[in-house]
Amino acid sequence: MASSPTIMDSDFRYIDKMGNLLRTRTELTIAQMLTFLEQDYEYNHKLVLKNGNEVTVDFKTKKGLIEVIDNDQDIEKYKQIKEDFPEDKVMAIGHAKYVAQIKELQDIVFYEKSPQTGSIFLEDASFSFDYAHILPLVEKCSILHGHTSSVMVELVGQMKDNLLLDFGVAKKIIKEVVNVFDHKFFINRRYLKKEDGSHYHIQFEGPKGMFELQVPKNTTYLLEGEATVENLSSEIIKLLAPKMPSNVEALGVYIYEGYNKGSHIISNISR
C-alpha cells in the first residue's frame, strides 16, 4: 500500500487580508490576531544591522517587532536584533524547542499578561463531511457534483486562567455543527420554485441548460447565496457562534475542498 504524502507548510499558500503571501500557518495566525486587534503591521520589514547587513523581520507594529522562529538561523537573527536595538521591543514566537533556546539566551518575550488574547485551532478526522452542490454561475460546477471536505476551526478570544476553551468541549461543539452538513445537498435558496410537505422543487437555467430537480427536504440545505466553499465556511461560523462561551470573540473556519484548495473565513462574534 502506498504511503500518504507528507503535507508541509510549503504545500499550502497562506495569504493575509492585505494580500501578503505568508510562509507558515504560524505567520497567518499572527496576521489574523493583529487584524482582529486592529493593529496595523508591515510584513517582511527590512532592518539594517550595525554590521551593515540587512535582515527581514516578519512583522513590524507600532508597539514593536515580531519574529517567527522556524530554525536556528532565526535564533541568531533574533539575538543580533536584540543586541543592536536594545531599546526596541521584540517578541519571538515559534516551536517550543526554539523558544527554549531563546530563553536560555535570557532574551525576553514581551506580552500583555492580563488580559490575554489567545487562539486555539482544532483539526480532527471527525470534522469532515460529504456533500453535493450545484453552482449555476460557474460553468464547470453548474451540474450536480460532490466533495468530501475537512474542516479546521480557530477560536479567538480572552483567556481565563490561561485557557480559552477546553479542547474537549470545543471538539464536541464543532462535531455537532459539522454533522449537520454531512450528506447534504447545498443550493442557493433563490432557485427554489416551490415546495410541498416533503420536497423542494429546484429550477434554474445554467451554462449546461435548464435543470429541474425534486429533492427531499431532509437531505437539502438551502443557503442564502451560492453554495460555494466560502459560503459554507460562513454558514459553519453562523451555526458555531451561538454555541460559543462569551470569552470567545471571533471564529475562523477553514474548509479544504480536496487536497490543495479551500476557503478560510474569519469573523467577529456579535452579541
The pLDDT value recorded for residue 111 is: 39
Please name which of 217, 223, 53 lies closest in space to residue 135, comparing C-alpha atoms.
223
Mean pLDDT for each consecutive 10-residue tract of the chain (271 residues)?
Answer: 40 71 82 88 92 92 87 85 87 66 48 65 94 95 94 92 91 97 97 97 94 97 96 96 94 88 88 71
CA distance 268 to 173: 18
201: amino acid identity, one letter: H
Cis bond before residue 115 (omega within 30° of 0)? yes
Q: Please state whether the peptide bond connecting residue 242 to the residue before it is cis, i.e. omega within 30 degrees of 0.
A: no
Q: What does the block give as the cell for 152?
A: 479546521
pLDDT digits (tens, 9 = 90+) for 63-96: 899 988 878 888 888 888 988 988 888 888 776 5
pTM above threshold 0.75: no
> Which domains are assigned to the chain?
9-104 (3.40.1350), 117-268 (3.30.479.10)
Contacts 24+ apart (CB under 8 A), 162-170: 162/116, 164/118, 164/119, 164/120, 164/247, 164/248, 165/120, 165/244, 165/245, 165/247, 165/248, 167/120, 167/122, 170/120, 170/122
CA atoms within 13 A on the CB side of 95: 8
Could you tell me where the beta strands, DSSP code E, fall in 115-179?
117-133, 145-158
pLDDT value of residue 97: 60
pLDDT (0 to 100) of residue 244: 95
Bridge partners, 254 (sequence order): 152, 264
Q: Convert the pLDDT of each residue in 183-202 to its tens digit.
A: 999 999 999 999 999 999 99
The C-alpha atoms of residue 227 and residue 136 are separated, in whole angstroms, by 9
CB atoms inside a 10 Å sphere around CB 169: 11
Q: For the chain, what is the mean pLDDT?
A: 86
Q: Check residue 7 and give its pLDDT.
A: 34
CA 225 distance to own-chain centroid: 21
Q: 118 near 159, Cβ under 8 Å?
A: yes
